Structure formats: structure tokens, C-alpha cells
Structure 1
């Protein structure tokens, strides 16, 4: 597997900024939804990021995996918590999710090595 996950986290941010100039209402709405849905409430933000990561693995979204591994670490998730989340995603998504859990594990290793989620 040869995806540069820190770069995969960075690049869409740049493109979303440009798209926001062309489509300000929809992009602002999307950003607001992301902010509000991910904010700590009854569930801590860390748990929400772990849930989002599980969904990202099951739906097989590389960019989503990059974002939510990064953001889970930033929200205080530990490596064992992320790995356990991958196990639940594998249970729910079967074989394809197992392959993407490997991608997420690689992303975790890359973000940990680069300290970009701190």
C-alpha cells in the first residue's frame, strides 16, 4: 500500500477551499454540519471521530480514512482505540472493510510517525 495519508489529508483541504469560493453556501453548510455533528456533546468528540472512521472503512473512502484517523488522534484517541474501531468496522463490512482497515492502519502508522495529528 503506497498512499501518503498525511498528504491525502492535506490535498482535499486545499481543493475544498477553492470549491468554497465557487460554492460558498453548500460548502459552508457542509463545514457547519461537520463541526456540529463532530462536536463534543453527550458523546465526546473522540468517540464521534472513531465512529466516523468506522464508517469510512466500511464505505471504503480513502480520503475519509485519512481525515478521520487524523482527527481521531487529534481528538485524543489512542492507537489501541483506533485499532479496536477497525475491528468493529471489519465485523460490519466484511472482506472489503478488512482491506480498508489495513489502509486505515497504515494511515495510523503514518500519522503517528509524522506527528501530524498532534
Structure 2
């Protein structure tokens, strides 16, 4: 696993453990709601993750973008699909999204390289 991916996953896991260890009921409920939102339903989990990625890009949240890129990768999104997702995010969000698209493309390339390694 590349350092870029490993560092993100390690940091996210470590900080989630810290936050959840404080046993705040509101945070736990919010995070549970988030988890359940992406569960299989009328829309597939894959579709929901792609929607989450577009929203994260438009909102310009790099951590969220990396998270959804990882989930999309796990769910079998291919590179052609990913660049259509990027296109939708750029049309909806405007040119301010371009720097996030660059970082998303870099992270996607790392995820793809993982498959072939």
C-alpha cells in the first residue's frame, strides 16, 4: 500500500478511535446515521458512494474525497467511471473543484497501482 493511502487510513482510524472513545452519544448517532445512509437500498452502495464523492468534491473536503475514492475503489468503480464522476463534480462545483480533482486523480492512481502491485 502506498504511503499516501496508508497515512490517510492510519490517521483516520487512529482519530476515529480517539473520538469514539469519548463516548459522546450525539457523535455516535451521527456516525451511525452516516454508515446507514450508504448501506444497500433502493440505490446501490456503489451509486451512493459515487454520489458521496461528487458531493465531497463540490464541498471541497479532501479527507472525504479520499474516503469515497477508497470506497469506490473497493466497490469496483473503474477509471472511466471515475473520470465521469470527476466531470460531474467539476460541472456542478465549477473551476474551484479543479485542485481537488488533481489530488483525487493522484489518490485514484495510487489506488489503481495497488491493484497491480
**Is the TM-score greater than 0.5?**
yes
Aligned to 1:70: 70
Q: Which stretch of structure 1 is more off in the superposition, 5-14 or 58-67?
A: 5-14
Runs of 4+ in structure 1 displaced over 6 angstroms? none
Deviations 1:89-115 (A, max 9, x none): 000111111221111111111111124
Aligned to 1:38: 38
Q: Find out whether 1:84 has 2:84 as its counterpart.
A: yes
Structure number with bigger Rg: 2
Aligned to 2:114: 114
Aligned to 2:21: 21
Change (3 A) 1:6 1:47: farther
TM-score by length of 2: 0.86
Structure 2 distance, partners of 1:33, 1:68, is 16
CA RMSD of the aligned region, Å? Answer: 1.7
TM superposition shift of 1:23: 3.5
Length, aligned pairs only = 113
TM-score by length of 1: 0.86
What stretches of structure 2 of length at least 5 have no aligned partner? Answer: none
C-alpha contact 1:9 1:66 (8 A) present in aligned 2: no
What stretches of structure 1 of length at least 5 have no aligned partner? Answer: none
TM superposition shift of 1:47: 0.7
